Amino acid sequence: MSRILLAAVVFAAALPARALDAPNACDLVKPEEINAVAAKKVEKVLQQRSGNPSECGFIDSHKSAVLVVTVRTVQYAVKDEMFQERDNLEKIYRDHAKDLVDVGEGGYWIAANHQLGFRKGKAIVTVRFATSRNQNEVDTAQIARVIEARLPK
């Protein structure tokens, strides 16, 4: 009887963790969509981290990253979590982030590390091009809008 009760408690404790699983970052954008924007061609998709956060690298033929996408799901105060992340990046890079209103439900672009971050629903997404030719706000925002369209509300 105690084993059944223990199993029920473990299962119940695992439910909230499963509810917060981040979407798989590799499923949010296709290599063809990246190749339409990127200077280097994506040859391979590599799951770098699974779970919450989920991180995916889109790799070229020389095994170097073209694009890295990270998705993290939070339960409460998504706007505050993203603001805290942005604030930390501004302190680290000693640069101010630019507010973006046209990507997600609010976002930012920080030029010091060529990163775009935005939120939609309970998800916080960061998008970074690794190729220097694409490390600009316009190219990164174009891929971010594709990702935003595939995120659940």
The radius of gyration of the chain from alpha carbons, rounded to an integer in Å, stands at 17
The pLDDT of residue 147 is 96
d(CA 50, CA 135): 25
Question: How many separate domains does the chain show?
Answer: 1
Global pTM reads 0.83
Q: Is residue 17 part of a domain?
A: no
pLDDT digits (tens, 9 = 90+) for 2-41: 545 444 444 444 444 444 577 999 999 999 999 999 999 9
Question: Could you tell me the strand order of the sheet in which 65-73 lies?
Answer: 44-49, 54-59, 65-73, 123-129, 115-120, 107-110, 98-100
pLDDT of the residue at 153: 79
pLDDT digits (tens, 9 = 90+) for 50-71: 999 999 999 999 999 999 999 9
Q: What is the CATH number of the domain that holds 37?
A: 3.40.1000
In a domain, 15, yes or no: no
Judge whether 7 lies within some domain: no
Is residue 32 a part of any domain in this protein? yes
Q: Is residue 11 part of a domain?
A: no
pLDDT band at 43 (very low <50, low <70, confident <90, very high): very high
Has residue 14 been placed in a domain? no
Q: Which domain holds residue 98?
A: 22-150
